[in-house]
Chains A and B, each alone.
Chain A
């Protein structure tokens, strides 16, 4: 049996990659994907913890997160398309009208 710490490590790595993507990338599409990666990293932790503790709550929460992620992806992609139509770009650094 694989030790629980391995799952948590995997979860942390996934989450870290996601965070790095969100912070460093300029393409909005990539950022959205990175957010999905973060969410899935969390899901791994939930499921692992649920299994380890014998509690279905972890799995339930993982489903919950997936649902939210689906909704988020739908809204996020809609925003992305609206943004592209307006600015003809998906570069996040171009979007800095709201400052100061």
Chain B
């Protein structure tokens, strides 16, 4: 074949799947018997404990104490090798594939690999097919690259964990599902990955299922995602109904034709895209379905980094960007996306100000940054959205892993009020996290600056944008800088507020954790350099790379009534004066610096001030601290209504109607039987007489019939 390495594209999702199988076998046959024995439960599967010496599992109990006193059993070493290795191999294959793709001419950079026919029902033909194009290659590289680093980190972070193999089974399964999602060539296969990552998210949030709050958080995430999935399903039905296909290449190729023939009305496009966006709000934690993401922090920290910051939650952004051809036809949807994104960005940023749990601050920050990405999508700047998706994956994964390193050092402490002065204990963590904080705050030169500024500029200048959107975005950027520096100051600077006992054990993490931190720090700093905009003397290679995905789309959109989109936006960019762009850039940087300065003032200079402010406006503080009581509002407005309604249904419909029918029939039959059984009197003569009577009647009837005829 002429495709070379691209023919091995299927290996990218298949390698993590291999990891699932191998680690799954180890988890079932080596780890599970050990854990059951430890818990004093009978061995279900006979003598399964082939690997591993006895007495090692209880060593895991002392989380946070000095490492390495007990011998690591062989099966754990095997898992610790297999799980990162398969993901690393997937990364290498993906990288080679992308390099091979990049060597092609720009308009030929779409490679589709059909693996096997999957569903054939009437006119519905869905093959299991993978697609590598500039968009999915960015996603695949980010997912496998960051995923590999987090797998390595997990080996260190979870070293005290008993269910070590089970954890890596889930993590590998997640990689498989996520790669299926991004590499799929059609909506249905993407949906398989979509549901797969949801399942893994559920499993990993509830990883410590003995803890009530963890299992509740898992359920909450799952239910919130189901609401979104319902939208995706309906959107898929509509797409199939309209286009007669679910594959990206066919659907998007048919857009201009159906647009001209009037089949694809703006209303239809709006319905499809709004339903898709409903799915995106669930998966990517946007208003109104964002509530599950902060609770998802109950899972292990590397999971928060991988699934709930870097990869899975960006699936919604990816899907919107992937369907950009449809979104550009629906200006109403674009506005909804932009507004939801902007509001989510600022809304969750304000919640982040008052949180005291280090991971929750980062969780709200993630929601906020995802809002940015949707803001970018909503103004038609899909390239900027994907660019921010990538840089965010670097610095937010780093922030989460750094916070995990802090938590690890402090024997599981997550409350920032009980930290402080940590930089001398965990220097590597401090330096890397500080780099990520600078990046997310939008300090010029770092990755976050380029992507965030691109979004802000587009939200101002694009034909879908407006100064209001820019203002909200810039303000959210300032708040982001504020709460991120608050986090850094509270954690690493100042006086120690740690437990003396905890402080004595505080230690830097092992190399498996610090090396991924360092690599991610380099990426957080330098990752944005591939997208330096022209106005700053860069060539914005990132935009050129993605152009084949988004620009033909804009050309197609220009035929329609809703002629707008990226081409238009790109023109607008070119036509706007560079002075304006520089001015806005300086302004947003200044706002970010103000946020940093404020954080410095409140948490380094006048450390008593925050409490004072809180006590001066107790109601305001209370409302923000309690996350605007949104959870309570949902509890009251939705959950309790549903419970009441369901209880009503159960009592009225189920207990009265359904049970009534079933029990009624039973009563009828029993009553009839009770009467009929009297016929069986036990007198043989009676039976003989009935026999006779029956025979007489029968003969009489036959005679009557013959006479009548």
Contact = CB atoms under 8 A, between A and B. Distances in A.
Interface residues of B, number: 11
B2 interface: no
By size class, the interface of chain A is: 10 to 19
A19 B677 CA distance: 26
A91 B26 CA distance: 78
A95 B678 CA distance: 17
B105 interface: no
Given A19-B692, A23-B689, A23-B692, A99 B682 contact: yes
Contacts of A98: 680, 682
Nearest to B684: A92
B678 A100 contact: yes
Contacts of A92: 683-685
A38 to B, nearest CB: 11
Contacts of B537: none
A97 interface: yes
Contacts of B681: 96, 99
A100 B689 CA distance: 18
Nearest to A25: B685
A99 B687 CA distance: 12
B685 A24 contact: yes
Given A19-B692, A23-B689, A23-B692, A95 B680 contact: no
Interface in B688-709: 688-689, 692
A39 to B, nearest CB: 15
A96 B688 contact: no
A24 B689 CA distance: 9
Nearest to B678: A100
Contacts of A23: 685, 688-689, 692
A2 to B, nearest CB: 25
Contact of A22 (B678, B682, B688): B688
B683 A93 contact: yes
Contact of A95 (B684, B688, B689): B684
Given A23-B689, A99-B680, 4 more contacts: A22-B685, A23-B692, A93-B684, A95-B682
Interface of A: 19, 22-24, 26, 92-93, 95-100
30 contacts: A19-B692, A22-B685, A22-B688, A23-B685, A23-B688, A23-B689, A23-B692, A24-B685, A26-B685, A92-B683, A92-B684, A92-B685, A93-B683, A93-B684, A93-B685, A95-B682, A95-B684, A96-B681, A96-B682, A96-B683, A97-B682, A98-B680, A98-B682, A99-B680, A99-B681, A99-B682, A100-B677, A100-B678, A100-B680, A100-B682
